[in-house]
Amino acid sequence: MTRIAPGELHKFNADPIDTVDYHFDLDYVGDGIRDHRLDVLVPHDAVEAAEPLPVYIYFHGGGWTSGDKAPLTKYAASQATEGMVVINANYRMATRFKIGHMLHDANAVLTWVKRHIVEYGGDPTRIVIGGDSAGGHIAALLTAAANDADLAAHFNLDLQIEPGHLRGLVQHCSIADFSVMFERHFVLSLNFLRMLLPERERGTSLRDAARFLSPIEWLDKGFPPVFITTSERDYFYRANLNFIEALRRRSVLVDTVIYGRHRTNTRHTWQQDARHPESQEVYRRLGSFVRKVAALPAQAKQALAQAVPGEPALA
């Protein structure tokens, strides 16, 4: 959730990757505002490839109130070199907008991908969606809504994509369990919940209303494989461990990269900075995850389940 200073754009995007084609600032809604722009990053010759490539859609973090896709260009290009078409998207943010607006924007990105990604060599039936911090939360909540009609109806989402076409979810230092926000001394105050939620109905408690923000509460009607990266230096470390445990209880495939406190390069959303060896390890593992889950028919994903009981070990 750290704000990105203008000068840091150069740091995050130093030494551009030249084996990728860049298509910047495409308007995925058609209203001309920057919050509705996305970038498409494509490996060279992807359009001429024998088969279309899997698609990785990414939403930036920033505490739901700030951030932009631009600092994630190097990250997105690194994933494109792993053999996928990458979408790096903006969305409307608080405090002017609520979580429902953010989900509608994320859904609009999915719809744009369904209609246009073939033009860039991508396969609209093999999509992995992800993000860091707040962006990861939006990706997880949209994935839950794609698999649960009640949650989709709550946010009035008209999903144009089949749930089976969402092959995987990526979480970098995300928060999929909002119950941790009610713990004493948590890094975020409950005002973040109030900021994201529309006005509550009379008699509805904040904890009850927060259930609709918490992806961990919506896992019972199907969920794709998940790749989670976090560390003991991450604000949302405990929320990530809770999410991993809940997914494994339901026999959902979970792959993880989790670093201990001694790894000083692993503060919240470290994955944005390609200079760290810990980031490069995440990129390598993420590429393997996407190839694994997106290369298989949706109905075969359950056969991949490799759940390991107990908490994952720290690296």
Mean pLDDT by 10 residues, the chain (315 residues): 49 78 97 97 82 96 96 96 97 97 98 97 97 98 96 96 95 97 94 90 85 96 95 97 97 97 96 94 97 73 45 66
Enumerate the β-bridge partners of residue 26.
38
pLDDT of residue 13: 66
pLDDT of residue 167: 97
Query: How much is the pTM?
Result: 0.91
d(CA 227, CA 244): 9
Whether 54 and 122 have beta carbons less than 8 Å apart is answered as yes
Residue partners of 36: CB distance under 8 A and separation at least 6: 27, 28, 29, 30, 90, 91, 92, 105, 108
pLDDT of residue 295: 83
pLDDT of residue 84: 96
CA-to-CA separations, 266 to 58, 177, 226, 259, in angstroms, rounded: 20, 21, 20, 7
pLDDT of residue 7: 53
The separation between CA 100 and the C-alpha centre of its own chain, rounded to angstroms, equals: 16
pLDDT of residue 49: 74
d(CA 118, CA 123): 6
For the chain, the structural domain boundaries read 7-295
CATH of 7-295, one of 3.40.190.10, 3.40.50.1820, 3.30.1370.60, 1.10.260.40: 3.40.50.1820
pLDDT of residue 244: 98
Residue partners of 197: CB distance under 8 A and separation at least 6: 98, 99, 206, 209, 210, 212, 213
pLDDT of residue 30: 96
Residue 299: count other Cβ atoms within 10 Å of its Cβ. 8
